[in-house]
């Protein structure tokens, strides 16, 4: 049932709802999110934890004039539904459907793309400063920051700068870890009601006005302010935010809707300085299985909405993440100086088992990618052999540290770059944009394993190098590819199949695509060689140029041609004889979200499309 949601075409439609209707609306939102995510997959527990908070914000503030930014944007499902996207919500994370994050091209209520953690407060500061400069003095900017994003370096940089801003910015701290005790919270709740109340603030302003006219008025005002501040500081952990220039309010029960609305109505009237509102929420609230396993249901595939049991998909496979984790354990068992690092992604990068087996040799630094890389550089300088496991899309956040702290100083740090390639979550999470930056890094080797066995060999080979090395692999099955395997030789490609007319070069798991395309070509009478590139850097230029003299070259990569394998090949062919080249890669620009199979089909990346294009280039009938 969605009787109330059917009537909601935008935030204005909840302004006049009764308290009972708003509570019922929360129930409908919860049921809708569970139902849709159970089919499509997505972020369940974080969204169930912010439903009442979202309703309260849209009840009190006036979006889109007031801006609400979610950090991270995967918490914005209720926000999407309440801002006119209820009818389209069943399409979330589907090709051509709604994004799983805030997306300005979808709605004027989404101020920013918010797929990476930690940037909302900086963006909010910019909007608030622009409002001030443009005379929009009544416009509010609300940054809802949770799921570890507040500990990100960018957030901390923004906090350090926040005192420069004098008004109309509200930081909502979505604290879903229950870090403040109940007794302290209860006392503070009463104090918060007083300090945010209109009467109290008007009275305080009047007292200050009168005292300033007295000989010792300034000293008395300072004393009163200190008493108010110290009282709050003794009761809650607000010192940090007060020192950063915020007025601190909270903690507030994030599931008490009437209380949230009441507090935000008062907070909206405070314009003298930025405000930090501490809201306590429960991940998975209202859903027993999500509450009991919030990490499991943070981001999930399809599941049974009644029991929470994950639905059986294709036969379980051995992923590259798991293969990397197992290989790293084997390396660490042999070499005690090996340590592992990750930035709040121990499970996703396959390091959970390593963390349990080698507790003293494992570092999870939180959502702090730059720190993670620089920290690894320090470990390497101290004689250890650090291995950083990180998603391709998040590695982009640490590129300066990769250059300055690793490559420039030739530190022997190994990077396991996971999710290197297109993924379902869309442009903020595709791992197709890092190579143009990385190929130019001095002294950095870049390897692309075809399967689990090759990954293990490459990891051990990387250890033997006294220099930085990156292993890039996709989010996919890593089961061994059953074709002949040549010994791993540093800087050399692997000829998997011989051919005389065409030479197909692939990186990593794209070997499967290359083999399938070659089989289709052979069925049409075309002799196609298949080469597993293995090393993007150092690249096997000798083999490529030899192949180019007599064969049409074809490159297949799970990245963009302009900065990956295609670029390397083009650079080599510019001044060398060749029979031509065809590139198959992701296009320039922004690749949308959706099924990777559909993305491949729409961009000519399937074996059938590749074989057809090669036949056309050769002048053969497809």
Any idea which residues carry the catalytic annotation? 283, 369, 397
Exposed (0-12), middle (13-18) or buried (19+): which is 53, by Cβ within 10 Å?
buried
CA distance 344 to 342: 6
CB neighbourhood size of 445 (10 A): 21
Distances from the Cα of 607 to the Cα of 211, 296, 506, 569, angstroms: 80, 35, 12, 20
DSSP symbols for 437-448: HHTTSTT-EEE-
Structure tokens at 222: 């300072």
Q: Which of 246, 200, 193, 189 is nearest to 224 (CA)?
A: 200
Exposed (0-12), middle (13-18) or buried (19+): which is 182, by Cβ within 10 Å?
exposed
Structure tokens at 505: 């070069």
CA angle, residues 111, 115, 117, in degrees to nearest 5:
100
> Are 283 and 48 contacting, i.e. CB atoms less than 8 angstroms apart?
yes
Q: Which residues contact 16 (CB under 8 A, 6 or more apart)?
A: none
CB neighbourhood size of 487 (10 A): 7
DSSP class of residue 107 equals -
CA distance 473 to 373: 19
Distances from the Cα of 328 to the Cα of 23, 321, 391, 406, angstroms: 49, 11, 16, 20
Residue indicated by tokens 């080249």? 581
CA distance 460 to 335: 10
What SS3 class is residue 273? coil
ω into 323 cis (within 30 of 0) = no
In sequence order, the β-bridge partners of residue 143 are: 69, 171
Q: Are strands 141-146 and 67-71 parallel, antiparallel or unpaired?
A: parallel
In sequence order, the β-bridge partners of residue 472 are: 417
Q: Which residues contact 222 (CB under 8 A, 6 or more apart)?
A: none
CA angle, residues 415, 421, 424, in degrees to nearest 5:
125
ω into 538 cis (within 30 of 0) = yes
DSSP symbols for 298-357: TSB-SB-TTT-PBPP-SPP--BHHHHHHHHHHHHHHH-TTEEEEESS-TTTTT-HHHHHH
Sign of CA dihedral 181, 183, 184, 186: positive
> Are 411 and 404 contacting, i.e. CB atoms less than 8 angstroms apart?
no
């Amino acid at each position: 049932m969605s009787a109330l949601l059917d009537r909601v075409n935008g935030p204005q439609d909840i302004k006049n709802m009764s308290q009972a209707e708003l509570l019922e609306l929360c129930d409908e939102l919860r049921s809708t999110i569970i139902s849709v995510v159970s089919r499509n997959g997505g972020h369940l527990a974080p969204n169930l934890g912010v439903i009442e908070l979202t309703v309260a914000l849209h009840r009190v503030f006036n979006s889109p004039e007031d801006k609400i930014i979610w950090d991270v944007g995967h918490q914005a499902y209720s926000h999407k539904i309440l801002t006119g996207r209820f009818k389209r919500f069943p399409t979330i994370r589907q090709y051509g459907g709604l994004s799983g994050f805030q997306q300005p091209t979808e709605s004027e209520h989404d101020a920013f793309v918010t797929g990476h953690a930690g940037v909302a407060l900086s963006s909010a500061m910019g909007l608030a400063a622009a409002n001030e400069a443009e005379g929009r003095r009544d416009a509010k900017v609300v940054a809802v920051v949770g799921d570890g994003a507040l500990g990100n370096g960018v957030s901390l940089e923004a906090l350090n700068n926040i005192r420069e801003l004098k008004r109309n910015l509200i930081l909502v701290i979505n604290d879903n870890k229950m870090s403040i005790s109940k007794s302290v919270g209860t006392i503070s709740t009463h104090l918060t009601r007083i300090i945010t109340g209109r009467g109290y603030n008007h009275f305080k302003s009047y007292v200050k006005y009168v005292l300033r006219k007295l000989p010792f008025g300034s000293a008395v005002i300072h004393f009163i302010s200190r008493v108010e501040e110290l009282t709050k500081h003794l009761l809650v952990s607000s010192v940090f935010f007060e020192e950063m220039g915020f007025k601190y309010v909270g903690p507030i029960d994030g599931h008490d809707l009437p209380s949230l609305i009441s507090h935000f109505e008062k907070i909206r009237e405070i314009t003298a300085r930025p405000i930090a509102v501490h809201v306590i929420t429960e991940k998975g609230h209202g859903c027993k299985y999500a509450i009991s396993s919030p990490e499991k249901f943070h981001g999930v595939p399809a599941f049974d909405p009644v029991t929470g049991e994950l639905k059986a998909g294709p036969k379980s496979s051995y992923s590259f993440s798991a293969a990397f984790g197992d290989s790293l354990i084997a390396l660490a068992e042999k070499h005690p100086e090996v340590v592992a690092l990750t930035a709040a992604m121990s499970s996703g990068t396959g390091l959970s088992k390593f963390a349990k087996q080698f507790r003293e040799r494992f570092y999870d630094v939180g959502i702090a990618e730059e720190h993670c890389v620089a920290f690894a550089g320090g470990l390497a300088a101290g004689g250890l052999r650090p291995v950083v496991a990180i998603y391709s899309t998040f590695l982009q956040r640490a590129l300066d540290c990769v250059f300055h702290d690793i490559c420039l100083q030739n530190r022997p740090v190994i990077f396991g770059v996971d999710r290197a390639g297109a993924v379902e979550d869309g442009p903020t999470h595709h791992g197709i944009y890092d190579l143009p930056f990385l190929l130019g890094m001095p002294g950095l080797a870049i390897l692309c394993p075809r399967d689990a066995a090759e990954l293990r060999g490459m990891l051990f080979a990387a250890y033997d190098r006294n220099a930085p090395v990156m292993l890039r692999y996709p989010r996919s099955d890593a089961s061994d590819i059953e074709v002949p395997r040549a010994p791993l030789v540093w800087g050399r490609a692997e000829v998997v199949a011989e051919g005389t007319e065409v030479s197909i070069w692939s990186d990593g798991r794209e070997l499967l695509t290359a083999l399938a395309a070659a089989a289709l070509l052979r069925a049409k009478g075309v002799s196609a060689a298949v080469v597993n590139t293995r090393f993007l850097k150092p690249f096997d230029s000798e083999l490529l140029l030899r192949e180019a003299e007599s064969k049409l070259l074809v490159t297949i990569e799970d990245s963009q041609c302009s900065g990956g394998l295609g670029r390397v090949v083009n650079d080599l062919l510019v001044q060398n004889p060749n029979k031509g080249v065809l590139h198959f890669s992701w296009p320039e620009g922004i690749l949308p979200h959706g099924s990777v199979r559909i993305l491949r089909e729409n961009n000519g990346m399937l074996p059938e499309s590749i074989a057809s294009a090669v036949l056309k280039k050769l002048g053969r009938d497809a």
